Amino acid sequence: MAGWKVLLSPPEVGPVERELLLETFDSGWIAPAGPDLAAFESELASYTGAADVVALSSGTAALHLALQVLGVGPGDDVLMPTLTFAASAFAATYLGARPCFLDVDTTWQLDAALLEDELAGRAREARLPAAVVAVDLYGSVAAMDDIAAICGRFEVPLVEDAAEAIGARLGGISAGRFGTVGILSFNGNKMLTTGGGGALLSDDAALVERCRFLSTQARLPGLFYEHAEVGYNYRLGSLNAAVGRGQLRTLDARIAERARVRATYEARLFQLGGIHFQPSPATCTPNHWLTTVAIDAAVFGAGSPGVIDALHAEQIEARPGFKPMHRQPVFADAPMRNTGRADRLLAECVSLPSSAFLTESDIAWICDVVAGARH
């Protein structure tokens, strides 16, 4: 954070979170899983419409447990979009499975038609994957209704990686609710932060309870520390949960402010030409976590590297889009169905500062710096 005048997506916390945090601190529920944790899980379930939720130490932990309880294991394949954060793929490798990547559609999300073709080909050869992970990118929602229907036809479990999309909806349904299991992230830069954390949600309460058991070191009931299987130290702490409860109370208002930020960028940057904003499916209402644009250098007069350099020179934090997983050295040998779209986005994308704290004059300055990158 040192040196930046404007941050990309800083935590947006205030008096509500502070009050709940201090109440929990003063109550003494600091180390064990206390009432705030149970309340946070209940409130998340109510907000998303899920039958049950378990709050965890990270979104990555949630992905790991989701794939494990769905039966993913050594030698299995897991299909997922190449355009995502590495945790989507890392979780499969923790279980000895192989991530297999598919390119994205015009909304920069998993290409449902490509997924259907891939599953049909695998079905003919009797080598269906153990699971599909579909990702909601930058706070929008993928075509999850179509993706869920395709997975259902082939009887392949779907994990919805909604790490970036809490509060976003598709057809009125909350992000994270379209798969057999959904996951959320509460990292420091997310729309809802607990300082670090995540959650797993599902309509299958038994599945969630299984994850809750594994997340507490798989400790059996009783006086002694007794374990019949390997578990994990993945539970969210009480203080983190208290902050999360406050964040949930202000989430919709902060989503509205981030929508304002994106609309202001659109009004100012569209007129420059060659700048395209991430589209969303017709029935999607994004949470606008990160306003991300693709820059056509031939039309705009500068490419994404030049724009990022210009912003950084003014101490404005910006970053390129996610580097596709099939371009990551760690996954160089993984299978990839490539249409070239993710590669083009790698060359073109810039994520702009998106905080609800940005003023109209802040955004005007940022846009002026973007425009000045052409000179």
- pLDDT score for 1: 44
**What is the average pLDDT value for the chain, to the nearest integer?**
97
Looking at the chain, how many residues does it have? 375
φ, ψ at 139 (rounded to 5°): 100, 0
Mean pLDDT of all residues in 163-168 = 98
Cβ-based neighbours of 313, under 8 Å, separated by 6 or more:
none
CA distances from 152 to 78, 103, 178, 200 (A): 15, 20, 11, 20
Residue 106 has pLDDT above 80, yes or no: yes
Q: pLDDT of 224-277, one tens digit each?
A: 999 999 999 999 999 999 999 999 999 999 999 999 999 999 999 999 999 999
Residue 363 tokens, joined: 């955004």
In 3D space, the residue among 267, 269, 289, 270 whose CA is nearest the CA of residue 280 turns out to be 289
Burial class (CB within 10 angstroms; exposed 0-12, middle 13-18, buried 19+) of 47: middle
pLDDT for the residue numbered 375:
75
Cβ proximity of 174 and 47 under 8 Å: yes
CA-based nearest residue to 77, from 59, 61, 60, 93: 93
- Span 112-147, pLDDT tens digits: 999 999 999 999 999 999 999 999 999 999 999 999
- Give the strand pairing for 284-285 and 275-277: unpaired
> What local confidence, expressed as pLDDT, does residue 102 receive?
98
Q: What is the pLDDT of residue 297?
A: 97
Alpha carbon distance 365, 174 (integer Å): 34
Residue 31 pLDDT: 82
Tracing tokens 């986005």 back to the chain, one arrives at 345
Mean pLDDT, to the nearest integer, of 87-108?
98
> How many whole angstroms separate alpha carbon 142 and alpha carbon 219?
37
74 in Cβ contact with 98 (< 8 Å): no
284-285, strands of its sheet edge to edge: 173-174, 169-170, 284-285
How confident is the model over 2-50, as pLDDT tens digits? Answer: 589 999 999 999 999 999 999 999 999 998 789 999 999 999 999 999 9
- Predicted local distance difference test score (pLDDT) of residue 2: 56
Q: Note the pTM of the prediction, 2 decimals.
A: 0.96
Label residue 369 left, alpha or beta by phi (over 0 means left) and psi (-120 to 50 means alpha): alpha
Handedness of CA 159, 164, 167, 172 (dihedral sign): negative
